[in-house]
Structure 1
C-alpha cells in the first residue's frame, strides 16, 4: 500500500495522538483517504488510528 507524504504524516500523528501526545492538525483529505483504506476512522472523539493503521505504520519501519 502506498501512502502520500501527507497521509503518512497524518497516520503518524494519529499514532502519537493515540499514545496521548499532543499532535499537529490533521488534514481532513488525508484522514479521509486513510479511512477509505481502513487505516483510520472517524469517531465522536475525532480521527483515530485503527489496528490496521498501526500495523501499516509499524510495517513501514517509520518511527
Structure 2
C-alpha cells in the first residue's frame, strides 16, 4: 500500500493521538483517504487510527 507523504504524516499523527499525545490537527482530506483505505475512522471524538493503520505503521518502520 502506497501513501502520499501527507497521508503518512496524518496516519502518524493519528497514532500519536491514540497514544494520548496532543496533535495540532489532522488534514481532513488525508483522513478521508485513510478512511477509504481502512486505516482510519471517524468517531464522535474525531478521527482515529484503526488497528490496520497501526499495523501498517509498525511494518513501515521496520
Category of TM-score, reference length = shorter chain: over 0.9
Residue 56 of structure 2 corresponds to residue 56 of structure 1: yes
Unaligned runs of 5+ in 1: none
Q: In structure 2, how many angstroms separate the alpha carbons of the residues matched to 1:34 and 1:60?
A: 15
Distance 2:15 2:55 in 1: 10
CA distance in 2, matches of 1:20, 1:29: 23
Stretches of 4+ aligned residues off by more than 2 angstroms: none
How far residue 24 of structure 1 moved from its aligned partner, in angstroms, is 1.9
Three-state SS of the structure 2 residue aligned to 1:41 is strand
Question: Hey, what does 2:47 align to over in structure 1?
Answer: 47
**Counterpart in the other structure of 1:11:** 11
Task: State the aligned residue count.
Answer: 62
- Which blocks of at least 5 consecutive residues in structure 2 are unaligned? none
**Alpha-carbon separation, structure 1, partners of 2:16 and 2:44:** 18
Match of 1:21 in 2: 21
